[in-house]
């Protein structure tokens, strides 16, 4: 065998030995990472690993307003100023308040839909031949519209208590106002012997019409809200456009007195504009009620 052949064999042997050593080192590193970070850690895919990444993502989903902090930190690094970081910290409670208001609105709408379903279910049970008490109990368990007051209402139904009063107590929650109409129908049916099913049909129609009117108004206002969002994002787009043109707007805004004044006035006008637009929308929603 020639010297070239021995050289090739030597190169291949060295390569195989190096691959084996690298694989052994990787296995040791994976075992150490598993001991430090847990069995779900993926070596080479980020220090915390998959389990830590899942926990971080769950925390972000639970508290999305905290994303204002890294966003402010990135802008602070780009502009070499602590002002964006402070603004991000101040934005956290405002964003949290806005998100909680949106969550309450969704819960209120879901509860209003459950009340409509409750009236429909009770009416169906009555037309099927059930007595009012068992019909209300069965429909309440199916729809969950009574919430924490369900036990009280079912106790009043089962033991001959004041069912209308229990329904009025359940109607004090936001979104459950329709239960007051159910209480009134129940009271009239008990006092005068009027048909409860007919009253529930009229109540269901009224509540459904109100819900559809609210949904239609929200659909009409979606375009206005989109316009407001686009106009609110224009200053940010202008800063990005200036940065691409080499004007360095962050340095002017964050490191010069004139930029501070412009930034303060601009943020104030932005806040006033958003507040005024939200006030107009809320006024339209209140008029629709």
The pLDDT tens digits of the residues spanning 54-84 come to: 776 777 777 888 888 888 888 888 888 888 8
Residues 148, 240 contacting (CB under 8 angstroms): no
Q: Which residue numbers in the chain have pLDDT < 50?
A: 1-19, 21-23, 25, 29-30, 32-47
Q: What is the predicted pLDDT for the residue at 229?
A: 84
Q: What is the predicted pLDDT for the residue at 17?
A: 47
Q: What is the pTM of this model?
A: 0.68
């Amino acid at each position: 065998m020639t010297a070239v052949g021995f050289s090739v064999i030597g190169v291949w042997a060295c390569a195989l030995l190096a691959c084996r050593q690298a694989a052994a080192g990787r296995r040791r590193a994976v075992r150490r990472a598993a001991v430090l970070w847990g069995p779900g850690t993926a070596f080479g895919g980020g220090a915390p690993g998959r389990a830590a990444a899942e926990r971080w993502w769950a925390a972000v989903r639970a508290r999305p307003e905290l994303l204002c902090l890294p966003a402010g930190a990135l802008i602070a690094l780009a502009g070499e100023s602590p002002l964006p970081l402070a603004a991000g910290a101040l934005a956290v409670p405002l964003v949290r308040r806005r998100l909680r208001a949106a969550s309450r609105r969704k819960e209120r709408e879901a509860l209003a839909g459950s009340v409509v379903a409750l009236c429909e279910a009770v009416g169906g049970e009555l037309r099927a031949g059930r007595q009012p008490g068992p019909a209300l109990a069965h429909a309440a368990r199916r729809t969950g519209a009574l919430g924490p007051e369900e036990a009280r209402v079912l106790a009043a139904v089962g033991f001959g208590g004041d069912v209308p009063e229990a329904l009025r107590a359940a109607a004090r929650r936001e979104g459950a106002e329709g239960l007051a109409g159910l209480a009134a129908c129940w009271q009239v049916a008990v006092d005068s012997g009027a048909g409860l099913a007919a009253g529930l049909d009229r109540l269901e129609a009224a509540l459904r019409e109100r819900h559809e009117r609210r949904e239609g108004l929200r659909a009409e206002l979606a375009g206005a809200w989109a316009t407001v969002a686009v106009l609110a994002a224009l200053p940010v787009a202008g800063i990005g456009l200036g940065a691409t043109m080499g004007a360095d707007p962050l340095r002017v805004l964050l490191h010069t007195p004139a930029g501070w004044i412009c930034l303060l006035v601009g943020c104030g006008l932005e806040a006033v504009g958003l507040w005024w637009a939200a006030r107009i929308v809320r006024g339209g929603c209140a008029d629709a009620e």
